[in-house]
Amino acid sequence: MTKYFKAAIVCLVSALCIAAPAGGVANANSAQRYWHGSAASGVTVTDENCPVTVESELLVFDITEFPEKYYSEDEEAAFNEYGVKVTAQYSFYNPADYDVDMNVVFPLGFLPDYYPRTVKDDTARYNITADGVPVERRLRHTFSPYPEFNADNEIALIIDGYKKDGFYSPELAVHKYVLTVKNLQNTDAYSVYAETYIVDDAERRIIADANGYGGDDYGQKLGWTVRAGDTVEIYSVGKELDVSGLDWWFSYYDGRGKKRVTGGEMVVDDKGAQTMTFAQFAERFKAENSAVSETDWYNAVVDCANFYESDKRFVRKDLLNLHLLRWYEYDLSIPAGGRLVNAVTAPMYPHIDGGYEPSVYSYKYLLSPAQSWAEFGKFEVRINTPFFLSGDGVLPFEKMDYGYRCHRDGLPDGELTFSLCEAEHPKYVGGGSGWIWVFIPVAIIVGIVLLTAVPAAVLLVYVIKKNKAKKNDKT
């Protein structure tokens, strides 16, 4: 390949690069198109040796509307009026020759992505009954880092009072330190990276808002992106930390590599120093007017800190913004040889898939926790809805005047899932064959570029050759 032809190819490629979009095109419209709701679940007894059996369960979904994809804080009233619910009615039987008092929990799942953050308790208008009589219920919360419910792991986290932990306790001292960035020199960078090293100590945990960290066999290196005048906070839980004795390094990147900043220092702000208990520290992360009890919140913070702790006893402060699983907790009593009908009503939030036109709303009800009962009899599901059932699920529903119905003996394998839509056959617009509508205009543009760039490249080769010929004639 001659150098002239190479020049022509460069021109052609350059023209194509100018015409092509800067990034890969996944969808014609880049926007959030999937919203997470929450999965409800059946009641679960907290005593593993409970003899009570479930003779039958009637599960009724009342779905007459779909939620909005987003609710602002000003739309809290609209969110609270959203009335989709699920009612689980259980017929219990106590085959034992003694009375049974049960502590029962009903996982409500998580609040959906689209709820307004001002909502305190969305369950106030729902209730629990035993033989038609209202039962006192308690709204409980536990830390859960996972989007799915796991009965074996989650129920064990429901604890009355403060949990006992190998390190954390309500009275454990927490020492807060505030440091200010000063005297940065030889840099006009917008921000720099401040790093320090804290030696590992089993008698303390470090909690900080650092945005970078990494450890070795002896301790933890922490880093912050800062500017002159910024402050950083370090919390030492348990043993105090000599922050004035920490060494600091400041650096920045100028496009050619990492550059050291001279003169930078971290000045300890004695006025910002504070000592508190770990229970008081935990409360700092709790929203005002929260529906979470003091002990549930404390226990969730402890579980969260233990879960996210690095191997060198460091926890990022921002990770303590808790992901809480919500529960109903209540008590039931069934006499020896007696029966009881227990009904639980709870809100139901779907996942929203905006990749379809119209959107598809998917619901999930966890059946696996019901395996904890000694026996489980008949199982029936009714979906009261004017909408169309969309896609496949684990149950073979039949169409009814009121919506859909399925009944069987015993629980099915897997969880109960189903999807609803305003249209019987929603059109998928989020990918798949939809790529053709993105490709067509791009192909047209590329075609135009080819029609103009190729002649231009040929002309360039011709001009170069002609100039060379003239130059040779002169010589």
CB atoms within 10 A of CB 407: 13
Inter-residue contact 173 to 275 (CB < 8 Å): yes
If 0-12 CB within 10 Å is exposed, 13-18 middle and 19+ buried, where does residue 17 land? exposed
Q: Report residue 470's pLDDT band, with 50, 70 and 90 as the boundaries.
A: very low
Cα separations in angstroms, 235 against 147, 291, 410: 29, 27, 53
- On the question of pLDDT at 36 being above 80, the answer is no
As a whole number of angstroms, the distance between CA 5 and CA 324 comes to 64
Of 257 and 143, the one with more pLDDT: 143
Percent of the chain with pLDDT strictly greater than 90: 53
The pLDDT, as a whole number, for residue 447 is: 52
- On the question of pLDDT at 167 being above 70, the answer is yes
Of 465 and 191, the one with more pLDDT: 191
Inter-residue contact 157 to 323 (CB < 8 Å): no
**pLDDT, tens digit (0-9, with 9 covering 90-100), for 40-87:** 566 777 777 889 999 999 999 999 999 998 898 888 888 888 989 999
- On the question of pLDDT at 353 being above 90, the answer is yes
The pLDDT, as a whole number, for residue 10 is: 32
**pLDDT, tens digit (0-9, with 9 covering 90-100), for 82-123:** 989 999 999 999 999 999 998 988 888 888 888 887 777 788
Three-state secondary-structure class, residue 446: helix
- On the question of pLDDT at 17 being above 80, the answer is no
The pLDDT, as a whole number, for residue 40 is: 59
- On the question of pLDDT at 462 being above 50, the answer is no
Percent of the chain with pLDDT strictly greater than 70: 81
The pLDDT, as a whole number, for residue 110 is: 82
Q: What is the helix (H) or strand (E) element at residue 152, kind and residue range?
A: helix 151-154
For residues 327-352, give the mean pLDDT: 93
Q: What share of the chain is helix, strand, coil (3-state, %, to 5)?
A: 25, 35, 40
Q: Where are the alpha helices (DSSP H) in 251-351?
A: 278-283, 294-308
For residues 236-247, give the mean pLDDT: 97
Inter-residue contact 226 to 249 (CB < 8 Å): no
Report residue 215 as tokens.
């450890």
- On the question of pLDDT at 28 being above 90, the answer is no
Of 101 and 185, the one with more pLDDT: 101
